[in-house]
Structure 1
Amino acid sequence: MNNFKRPKNDGNIAFGFIILGIGVILLLKKMGIFIPSWVLTWPMILIVIGTFAIIKHEFKSFFGFMMLFIGSYFLLKNEFDFDFGISQYIWPIGLIILGIYLITQRKRENRIIEDIRNNWQANKSTGAFKSSTVEDAKIVSEEGGSTSSSTDSGFTRTTGTSFSDKLNIDAIFSGVNRKMISKNFQGGKITAAFGGVELDLTSADFNGVVTIQVDVIFGGVKMVVPPHWDIRTEVSNIAAGLEDKRFFRDGGVDPNKVVILKGTILFGGLEIKSY
């Protein structure tokens, strides 16, 4: 059986505490207990999203720290009249930092992919990879890149065909199209925040049970799967939609190919279909 190894922090606990906190705040307000007005403002939404992303990625999320900084800045400025004198520069500076990050991240990803290709070809007979290359691939994956951290998982780019065995997709204010062709598919994770993901699994294959962690916040995920896969959804929907548009063949589903979808969908949607 193909066992999927769960990540150290799949984000469910952090997201659960966030939802719990929102529920407690709304309940206290309905009960007439004083709740500061700034708690329910738009900068707090950014702070919550940033906090969730930081915890989910074990304090290695550039997007999380960016959202936390912007939310904290506007919260202090709008609600507490803290004027740091940089209002007119905040967006240009933010765009410059974001641009530098994307450029350096892309160059690093391309370098690591090229190293993996070279080592893959050089060590094809033994299947060995240089440890430094593997560690770099792990770092890129943890920072939100799309390179797989497994030594036998191949490589993948931000969009297009993936040669990895595991999913690691982060669509933050963007769209990602991914086609998996691995014959040893091992599940993985998908995160969509203010973005969308289109995942094609029709060319992938596996045996056993795999788990895909799906977390959607103000976004959408569309999955195209083979009609004989057994898809079991265990996601939590909060003001969200879940549509199963699969086309079932006469032969039914294969009990040896089970995909379990876990996670949380908040103000978003998940669509599952087959051809």
Structure 2
Amino acid sequence: MQVFLGVVIVAVGVVALLIQLDVVDLNLGQLFADWWPLVIIGVGLAALISVPRAWVGPSVIIAVGVFFLLRTLDVIDVNFWELWPIAVILVGLSLITSFGRRTSDEDTINSTVIWWGSERKTRSRQFKGGSLTAIMGGIEVDLREADIVDRAEIAIFALWGGVEVKVPPTWRVRVSGLPLLGGWDDKTTLPIQDGAPELIVHVTAIMGGAEIKS
């Protein structure tokens, strides 16, 4: 995300410089007014590349960016607030996907919440990871009674939402990701023994956050 934002800033600076030097004849204000949704689309694409397993949230951002781009280019003439039934449909789908078979020994945990909350727990002895997407909602995952064989990976996407993951103190946790007006807090402790099982956490936090703690 930092690279993407850096490229965008450099590109804007270069265009502004060329305009000031009369190398190109462009109206920077009009250019921004027409193409600003590309920033939203770019954020969504960067998030999708960062956490492809948690694709729901980035896809929503990309869809919103495409909608605004089509509006600014006068391809469509639809008021954004006229599409509120779509939000209702998304909430309903998130509720539907939250039902079904839930066991205490799941090897993977996948959860998507929109304006909602979710609590998940597993005691699997071969936990492999999963994907967690929180959009204006929250997810709590309890892995304290689980175990990993070698390594597991979790992808987290938080948009105006939060995700909390509790892990055993014997796990080695490595967190990386893309913060945009958000971030994560790693409160885990380093295990004493060598060869500790490892949990890799990839976080994309957009005005949201994630907390991983022992």
TM-score, structure 2 as length reference: 0.66
Task: Confirm whether residue 229 of structure 1 aligns to residue 212 of structure 2.
Answer: no
The residue that corresponds to 1:259 in the other structure is: 199
The residue that corresponds to 1:102 in the other structure is: 93
Letter in 2 for 1:232: R
Q: Does the aligned pair in 1 maintain the 2:98–2:111 contact within 8 Å?
A: no
Letter in 2 for 1:227: P
Structure 1 residues 28 and 51: CA distance shift in structure 2, 3 A: closer
Note the residue ranges of structure 1 that are not aligned, 5 or more in a row. 1-15, 114-154
Letter in 1 for 2:36: L
Letter in 1 for 2:147: D
Between the aligned residues of both structures, percent identity stands at 29
TM-score, structure 1 as length reference: 0.54
Paired residue for 2:8, among 12, 22, 25? 25
Structure 1 residues 264 and 253: CA distance shift in structure 2, 3 A: farther
Structure 1 residue 95: Cα displacement:
4.5
Letter in 1 for 2:167: V
Letter in 2 for 1:246: T
1:102 aligned counterpart, secondary structure: helix
Quick one: higher RCO (CA 8 Å, sep 6+), 1 or 2? 2
1:192 aligned counterpart, secondary structure: strand
Structure 1 residues 272 and 63: CA distance shift in structure 2, 3 A: closer
1:161-199 Cα distance to aligned partner (Å, 9 max, x none): 654201223334443221122122112233334443221
Aligned counterparts of 1:30 and 1:260: Cα–Cα separation in 2: 36
Q: Which runs of 4+ in 1 moved over 6 A?
A: 52-55
Structure 1 residues 234 and 80: CA distance shift in structure 2, 3 A: closer
1:30-70 Cα distance to aligned partner (Å, 9 max, x none): 342547223436x953x456656777469x85983x65555
1:212-256 Cα distance to aligned partner (Å, 9 max, x none): 2334444332211111222222434454433233367xx835633
Structure 1 residues 98 and 254: CA distance shift in structure 2, 3 A: same
Aligned counterparts of 1:175 and 1:202: Cα–Cα separation in 2: 20
Aligned counterparts of 2:122 and 2:188: Cα–Cα separation in 1: 18
Note the residue ranges of structure 2 that are not aligned, 5 or more in a row. 18-27
Structure 1 residues 20 and 204: CA distance shift in structure 2, 3 A: same
Letter in 2 for 1:268: G
Note the aligned Cα RMSD (angstroms).
Answer: 4.1
Aligned counterparts of 1:163 and 1:184: Cα–Cα separation in 2: 9
Aligned counterparts of 2:66 and 2:176: Cα–Cα separation in 1: 34
Q: Does the aligned pair in 2 maintain the 1:190–1:215 contact within 8 Å?
A: yes
The residue that corresponds to 1:182 in the other structure is: 124
Structure 1 residues 190 and 57: CA distance shift in structure 2, 3 A: closer
**Larger strand proportion of the pair:** 2
Paired residue for 1:197, among 121, 139, 142? 139
Count of residue correspondences = 199
Structure 1 residues 172 and 231: CA distance shift in structure 2, 3 A: same
Paired residue for 2:36, among 32, 35, 40? 40
Aligned counterparts of 1:171 and 1:200: Cα–Cα separation in 2: 17
Aligned counterparts of 1:210 and 1:63: Cα–Cα separation in 2: 22
